[in-house]
Chains A and B, each alone.
Chain A
Amino acid sequence: MVFLIYAGMLKYSGFAGAGESVNELFNQFPSAVKSILGLGDLDISSILGFYAIFYLYFMVLAGLHAVMLGAEIISKEEHDKTADFLFVKPVLRSKIVSCKLTAALINIIVLNLTTLIASLIFVDIFNTGKSINDIIVQLILALFIIQLIFLAMGASIAAVSKNIKKATSLAAGILMITFIISVAIDLYQKIDFLIYVTPFKYFPAADIIMTRSYKTSTLIVSFILVSFFTFITYLFMKKRDIQI
């Protein structure tokens, strides 16, 4: 992640030198290509616009990390067949789930803070204009909510799935589907009613940069999703037949 940010900002320094000509070049791209790159109407030659592109990759990478971590940490004991050790100890299953989710939460917080700090440092190095630190913090905070959603989603997929071996790849697959939906929404405005289906559309960088705030509706949906997936995880783990 750190490397991605550094390399990205390095590229930006090259870009910035070219100035307006880059914008002209990008404007010649069909809007579909710009959508897929996550550009929208942002000004690519400003550091903010450039950072917004990377924000899209952060979402995909951190989302993928979170959803796989969630699925992996719940399914691991059965997958590695250590379940026969852990689940016969005198602990409630709910406590095991709580410990696992806490560990995963710490893990995604570390990733989030790393992304934040690296972004602040490297953007600062290459930024020649006004400081954008406050916007970066706002974006990375939104990233954290997305991570939370995917973590809880991954955990619930593992708790529900009968075939524990496939849980992690299933979780990753579902993430890719939500990503594809988010791209599809960019391409066909007509299906924008689907924005609630894909967390990638909850906090679009362009909106945050323009309005400097999150949409209340997506915040509520995020909260409901995280609670729902967490509840499902506890419920199904309690009822689950542990098989190895």
Chain B
Amino acid sequence: MKVIELDHLSKYYGKARGIIDVSFTVMEGEIFGFIGPNGAGKSTTIRTLLSLIYPSSGSARIFGQDCIKEGAAIRKEIGYLPSEVFYYDNMKVIDLLKYSASFYKNIDQKRIYELADMMDLDLKRKIEDLSYGNKKKVGIVQGLIHHPRLIILDEPTSGLDPLMQQKFFNLIIEENKNGASVLFSSHILSEVQKLCSRVAIIKEGRIMSIEDIKTLRSNNYKKFKIEMGEAVSNDYFNIEGVANLYADKNSFSFLFKGDINKMIDIIHSKKINNLIVEEPALEEIFMHYYEKEA
């Protein structure tokens, strides 16, 4: 079943670009990554899904229902954690969480204490006294109290220390195992790489590509780092299949996809001091995307 369907979704703020022609589909049970640099349109897309803002054209559907027309009904099943969290400063954490729970039906109050315990959150403190990381924890708990069928995370890890990030990821994975689908927006690839099965890559408001994490990784890109023993021109390694070529004096680094023997031949015909061949990080594959399209 399709949980999220975006069909040629566009949003302009006056004449300024928000997102243009964004289309992708998230299937039930999937953890779907949404990757792009800051200002690419990730939050705009998510805010449209939550019917916080209205699209200029195109449509967004969640659980097969239109996000705008059925917004209130759809939101019963959504848990949302925004990138920046702001709550009512004068409330105590527990009061805020109970208030949040009051919007949903059939809430198990015990769940609040379970989640707070898991995230190490002090329920008795006032919101205004919390550090940013602790506010973020409040955000995590209020987003998961009602066992949402769809969890939407907009840059969720900022402000969390690595230990908390790990606990948070575990929590998300557990919810996912219990049947929740997840839309995970981030500009940090390594965290998306850990959790997601597929990713959409967005840049300057447009979807550049939608990829399987596995295929991305097994795309057979190899990363080469070479220190030459003799002078060669900066273009020396610029053959077909090479990307992200950097040359600094006699040091070269690049990604290569293609027949490895050709590359070996080129390397072999010159004297070299050092050679490293490794699996590229996803970041580098994406950088390649961005630069190619730019």
Contacts and interface: CB of A to CB of B under 8 A. Distances in A.
A90 B80 contact: no
Contacts, number: 50
Size bracket of the A interface: 10 to 19
Nearest to B50: A88
Interface stretch (A77-85, A133-141, A183-191): A77-85
Contact of A87 (B52, B86, B89): B52
Interface residues of B, number: 24
Interface in A221-244: 239, 241-244
B75 interface: yes
Given A241-B52, A241-B53, A241-B54, A81 B104 contact: no
A155 to B, nearest CB: 20
Given A80-B86, A84-B86, A89 B52 contact: no
Contacts of B253: none
Interface string A15-37: 00000000000000000000000
B84 interface: yes
B163 interface: no
Contacts of A244: 84, 86
Nearest to A83: B52
Contacts of B80: 84, 88
A243 B82 CA distance: 12
A83 B47 CA distance: 11
Contacts of A242: 47, 52-53
- Main SS of the interface on chain B? loop
B45 to A, nearest CB: 14
A220 interface: no
A81 B75 contact: no
Nearest to B142: A85
Interface in B19-52: 47, 50, 52
A92 interface: yes
B54 A82 contact: no
Contacts of A92: 72
Contact of A90 (B86, B88, B103): B103
Nearest to B154: A84
Interface in B63-120: 72-76, 78, 80, 82, 84-89, 100, 103-104
The listed residue with most A CB atoms (<10 A of its CB), out of B52, B76, B103, is: B52
A90 B50 contact: no
Contact of A85 (B53, B54, B76, B100): B100
A90 B50 CA distance: 10
The listed residue with most B CB atoms (<10 A of its CB), out of A89, A92, A241, is: A89
A89 to B, nearest CB: 4
Interface of B: 13, 47, 50, 52-54, 72-76, 78, 80, 82, 84-89, 100, 103-104, 142
Interface of A: 80-85, 87-92, 239, 241-244
Given A89-B103, A90-B72, A90-B73, 18 more contacts: A80-B86, A80-B89, A81-B86, A82-B88, A84-B52, A84-B82, A84-B84, A84-B86, A85-B142, A87-B50, A88-B75, A88-B80, A89-B100, A90-B75, A90-B76, A90-B104, A241-B52, A241-B54
